[in-house]
Structure 1
């Protein structure tokens, strides 16, 4: 779904791009599905949290319809959306260092902090969901 919401920029494409990363050039990336499974299993992510993370990604696309992803940005967006959703839903959410540990070595603590802040910024800090919006989403 992330790759459908934010198609990757290819050579010659022009346009705004956020969630840029050099992770794609640091070596081979793990399979994206395996990356997601690893994060969700290690953090014991609940379905509600996954659904909220996807809702945030949909909002992100609505807020920035012309943005394009870059190679590796799906990994950043997945981790950021899950991190923000978890912190929004749970008082005892994982700390940044835990997200670094489950990211399979792709991100540093500084990068995870920055990704989280940028993700909320691009959502205009609108993290709440009304019951009507949630019921329509689910």
Structure 2
């Protein structure tokens, strides 16, 4: 297990540390910086997409990842929750970002406030299973995400088929996405929404508790 092997000669140690992926520089809440940077990029993309839908005649395509209303947790709060309870490595959030990008490329889905949370919990879970040496079962991740195990199982399969089971991430691709996150840190502005790069290569909630309204399409 483990899709990547980072060596100082291949991956810039400074970038790695800046994002909190190794010997993390933490913010005032004690989180790896990659979490806030990723949430910032995703939040901007969601707002841009929703503004585009409001000003155009295009209609959003409803998928199994859509809920009938946006969850009460912000993207930042949700990412923080996943990190706090999943115990996955910070690198998983970069990998999850890449996976979501691949899913968008293949399905033409637009990120918005109705689907981003389900995509996040699903992509991080898949990344943890592929990247980390230790991970939890789907029932646990479902509790972390605020959905049922049955729903997460369905989302996982839809996601895997959506990316054509292409879970390997090359060091080169990983570096590109880290550069985008670093750019967010340095200037606070990402002009391009997702997709940003090519794709070459103990929780207290109950299982039946949900942060969402169930989606209108299953």
TM-score by length of 2: 0.53
For residue 12 of structure 1, report the CA deviation from its aligned partner: 5.8
Partner of 1:125: 165
Structure 2's unaligned 5+ residue stretches are 1-40, 179-218
Work out whether 1:100 is the aligned partner of 2:142: yes
- Alpha-carbon displacement from aligned partner over 1:33-65 (angstroms, at most 9, x marks no partner): 11111111111232211111111112222223x
Q: Which runs of 5+ in 1 are unaligned?
A: none
* Aligned Cα root-mean-square deviation (Å): 2.6
Change (3 A) 1:2 1:92: same
Does residue 20 in structure 1 map to residue 65 in structure 2? yes
Q: How many residues align?
A: 133
The 1:67–1:89 alpha-carbon spacing in structure 2 relative to 1, beyond 3 Å, is same
Structure having the higher Rg: 2
Distance 2:88 2:164 in 1: 24
**TM-score normalised to the size of structure 1?**
0.79
SS of residue matched to 1:24: coil
Report SS of the residue matched to 1:137.
helix
Summarize the alignment of residues 80-95 of structure 1 with structure 2, pairs less than 5 Å apart.
80-95=122-137
CA contact (8 A) 1:2 1:77 kept: no
Q: How far did 1:85 drift?
A: 0.2
Quick one: distance in 2 between partners of 1:88 and 1:124? Answer: 15
Deviations 1:110-137 (A, max 9, x none): 1111111111111011001223333333
Deviation at 1:92, TM superposition (A): 2.6
Residue 72 of structure 1 corresponds to which residue in structure 2?
114
- Superimposed CA distance per residue, residues 43-102 of structure 1 (whole angstroms, 9 cap, x where no aligned partner): 1232211111111112222223x3234542011111011010001112431101111221
Q: Which has the higher helix share?
A: 1
Residue 71 and residue 137 in structure 1: after superposition, are their counterparts in 2 closer, same or farther (change >3 A)? closer
